Amino acid sequence: ENLEGQIAIVTGASSGIGAASARALAEAGATLVLVARRADRLTALADELGRGSTAYAADMADPDAPQRLHDFVLGRFSRADILVNNAGMLHAAPIDAFDLDQLRPMIAINYEAVVRASTLFARTMKAAGKGQIINISSIGANITAPGVGVYGGLKRALEAFTDCLRVELAGSGVKVGIVAPGTTSTEIFEDMKARGQPSWDSFIPPMQPRDIAEAVAVIAQQSERTNIARIQVYAAADSLA
């Protein structure tokens, strides 16, 4: 479907998969609300996208941020059609090196913020009888390996919540789906690199953010008859099950 006139909210929109997804949705006709902490990047992207797109600087890890974002969007546009929960952070390390100070920030941004935003926007979309929520997960949700238990565990929790929300909203006009990327070259690996750890995108040729954005756009433009529950995208060289 053409997304002309639709309002799409993308979190983590200042770089990587978020910025690429915003571009893909704008190309399909949507007006974007770009959410992240770096206001300067958001403003530049909003100017590039046009269509009345707007920047909204916020730290989604703040428990109040999802409500404030919801109220801003409804106040500005009186509607919300597409929500892409993309903001996330990665800290992965063996137990001897794992920084437990990263645990609560990861829970806040990778899980709690998504639950809060999904719940608030789902209520509004349900009342309107239409809308889409697209949550960015990771193939890490299903990988059992040393060092990735916290990140993968939170993505697994996110997927369980998202699937239950999809089932609850079935028939309401509100669709809920997951995009689960494999190895993609984004700033999420900067934590690893800063600690001298080889980042995952150094082992194989990684995907680029636009590759994942295409999957987001497919879900956003799907037929009224369908509810795409999940698109899992592996890098061509990924050999993970």
Q: Write out the catalytic residue numbers.
A: 151
Q: Which helix (H) or strand (E) holds 176?
A: strand 174-181
CB neighbourhood size of 131 (10 A): 24
Q: What is the DSSP letter of 122?
A: H
241 burial level (CB within 10 Å; 0-12, 13-18, 19+): exposed
Q: How far apart are CA 172 and CA 170, in angstroms?
A: 6
Among the listed residues 132, 152, 151, 131, the one whose alpha carbon sits nearest the alpha carbon of residue 141: 152
Q: What is the DSSP string of 142-157?
A: G---TT-HHHHHHHHH
